[in-house]
């Protein structure tokens, strides 16, 4: 049986929809409520590598905190952006599913089916 790690925010409708979709697939789900259990910089780097995207692409750029922290500044390093996600986990795009050495962002929720 496939085990899926789901970086989940129960208050987010897309995250809840993704969880329901995974439950319907009869897979084992390891839920990480990332706002309570913030991923480490190594975890974030691993997710970025699996997704083959930059740190900024994993960020919720419309959040107030993104603007307040001036995270749109093109001179910020990847390390600075990763640290911003650790310090303000609300900035991490959600939900993120990881299975079989691959990751997918559940926007739309059906994206996660590709990694099962």
Catalytic positions, please?
12
Cα 105 off chain centre by = 6
Concatenated DSSP letters for 27-71? -EEEEEETTTSPPPHHHHHHHHHHHT--GGGGB-TTSHHHHHTTT
**Euclidean distance between CA atoms 96 and 46, whole angstroms:** 12
């Amino acid at each position: 049986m496939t085990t899926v790690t789901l970086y989940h925010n129960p208050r987010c409708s897309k995250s809840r929809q993704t969880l329901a979709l995974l439950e319907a697939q009869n897979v084992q789900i390891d839920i990480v409520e990332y706002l309570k259990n913030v991923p480490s910089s190594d975890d974030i780097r691993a997710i970025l590598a699996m997704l083959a995207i930059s740190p900024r692409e994993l960020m919720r750029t419309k959040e107030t905190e993104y603007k307040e922290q001036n995270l749109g500044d093109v001179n910020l390093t990847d390390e600075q952006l990763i640290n911003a996600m650790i310090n303000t986990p609300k900035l991490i795009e959600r939900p993120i599913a990881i299975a079989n050495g691959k990751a997918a962002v559940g926007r739309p929720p059906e994206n996660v089916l590709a990694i099962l």
